[in-house]
Structure formats: structure tokens, C-alpha cells
Amino acid sequence: MLKKTSTILADPIDKQPLNLLNEQSRNNEILSGTLKSNNNKYFIESGLANLIPNFKKMNLDSDLYQTWNTLQENGMKTYQNFPSDNLLTEGRELTKLFKNFCNFSGTVLDVGCGPTLPAYLKNNDKIQLGIGLDPLISTKNYQNEKNIDLIQGIGEFLPFKNEIFDFVSFCTSFDHVVNPNFVLNESKRVLKENGTIIFLNGIHGSPKSENVQIQNNNIFRNLYSKINYNNPIRKSLRTTIIFGRNQTNKIIHHKQVKEQKFIKNLPVPNGAMDQFHMHYWDNSELNKQCEQLNLKKINEKILPDLNSEFLMYQKI
């Protein structure tokens, strides 16, 4: 854990200051230690702070929490088996578009970042301190980068002091939370005045395989359109591009069939929408939730070809 991260932490349950005990450090990083408030203890191991509260103190519905745990297990299995097929992956079009839409700067909290450092937080010198928070982070995959750090935690109980962040983001994670109202209230609490909350939501129900194939065809179409038809060498190149497109589509289709079969065999627990999601959010539902907390929509971008929408709200 970066030392600067320790200065903004608070007990996720009672929000009291956390004192760092038994610290072992190297340069600007805390390798191990104990974070203690008046009532609770949390631990740092191999650089990773585990700030997930004891369940008995969370005041969450136990059945819903068990459902959530099963969905988290499903998510981790999918990450492990198909690591390139998520938003952590650099180079994906949706990742790039989301990073540009957010235009992060200052202090940033990404809630539900996944098990490793997300690509949309990397390589941004305007971020003074960025935090990725997720229950799936472990000491095996803990990493940080310059001013970007990871913490093990959950959105219902954010382990931070009040009014710390310029941005709070949910990149395909808000539909995974146990209690959306808890999470939004917590997000608003840690957000500075006039700070920004950003959501990347999936548009559920669109066929994923068709979506990825459309992206692939667009890439080849752009290459194809740049070729001079009157040049005989480039005419042969057109044939190569068409062949490459078709072969790539076959590979994508095979991979997706394999992934869909894998997902189909995962359990769907009681109370869940599918193998991964606690909720499905559409634009109007989320907007209603945010308006009730005085969060004003200031920007949106709908991407039907990518089955996604970007929504931006400001704390007022």
C-alpha cells in the first residue's frame, strides 16, 4: 500500500480514524502492518490492505450477501479462465473510450475495479492518487503503479475519510453491488463538493458474439478502405485482408462458444439476475436513484454497438 493511501483511510464501519501499527515499509510503500480504530482491526499483508469488514457488523441481508458471494466466485472463475475478455485489458476499444470519457484527474476512486489494476487508470499523469477497490484483489495479484493503488474492500462500506475524491467511478460494477442505496450514499460521502460520479453500464440482452464480430469487421473495413484498387500489389493485399477477417471471426466465434458454455455451467443463486449480476440498471432507473441523492446528470454517451452506456453525475 502506498504511504499516501494510508493518510486518507478510515474505518469502513464507523468512519473513525485508523492508526497504523507494527508498520514495515520500503521507500514509499507499506508492506505490512495493522490498521486499528477504537473498535476494529484490519491488516496489511504483502502491500495489500484488507478493509472488508466483519459480516456481523455490516448490517446486510444475509441471504443477499450469500448470493453476492456466489456471484463474486463466478466472476473470479471467469477472470481466471478468460483474462483478456474484461475491461482490465489494455487495447480494448471500450476501455479506451471509457478512459477518454472519464478524463480523470486529481484523486480518483474506482469501485469494483476487478482483481488487478484496471487499464483505464493507468498511464495518466493527471491522477494525483488513484485507488482501485474490489473484494477480489488478493496478495497474489496486488500491484500499484506510481500514484495508483489497490485496496481490498466493498462499495457498501468505503474505507475512506469524508470528501476525499474528485471522481468516483463504477466500470461495469454497479450492477454487482448488494445494496445500491448504501453504495451511492457512501460514494457521495467520500466525494468532494462538485465531484463527479461516473458509471459504465452494460446494455443487457444484446448478443455479445455479434457485438465483438462487428468491432472486428470495422477494423478490417478501415484497412480495406485505405487500399488503392489500381495497384496490383495492393489488390492482392485486399484478398489477404478479407481472408484475415474471416479467420479472425472464426477464432472469435470459437472462443465465445467456449466462454458461453463455461458461463452456462456457473450457478445462478437465488436473488440474482444471472451468473454475475445482482441488478440490471437502465438509464432512467439509475438517474432516479442519483437524483434522490442530489446527483445531477451532466453527461452521457450511449454505445449500442458496444452494448454499453457511459453516465456522468455531479455532486451538488
Domain residue spans of the chain: 61-204+274-315, 208-264
Q: Give the Cα separation of 213 and 304 in Å (integer).
A: 14
Examine the pLDDT at 255 and tell me if it is beyond 70.
no
State the fold for domain 61-204+274-315.
Rossmann fold (3.40.50)
The mean per-residue pLDDT over the stretch 267-284 comes to 91
pLDDT at residue 257, as a whole number: 77
Cβ pair 310, 303 in contact under 8 A: yes
Cβ pair 278, 68 in contact under 8 A: yes
Residue 261 carries which DSSP code? Answer: H
- Range list of β-strands (E), the chain: 19-26, 29-36, 41-45, 48-50, 106-111, 127-133, 148-152, 165-171, 191-202, 295-303, 308-315
pLDDT at residue 238, as a whole number: 60
pLDDT in tens, 142-191: 888 889 999 999 999 999 999 999 999 999 999 999 999 999 999 999 99
Q: 191 φ, ψ to 5°?
A: -85, 140
When mean pLDDT is compared over 58-62, 151-155, 234-238, the highest value belongs to 151-155
Examine the pLDDT at 77 and tell me if it is beyond 70.
yes
Examine the pLDDT at 117 and tell me if it is beyond 80.
yes
Dihedral sign, Cα of residue 31, residue 35, residue 40, residue 41: positive
As a whole-number percent, the residues of the chain with pLDDT over 90 amount to: 65
Cβ pair 35, 20 in contact under 8 A: yes
Return the bridge partners of 299, or none: 312
More confident call, 249 vs 316: 316
The mean per-residue pLDDT over the stretch 25-41 comes to 94
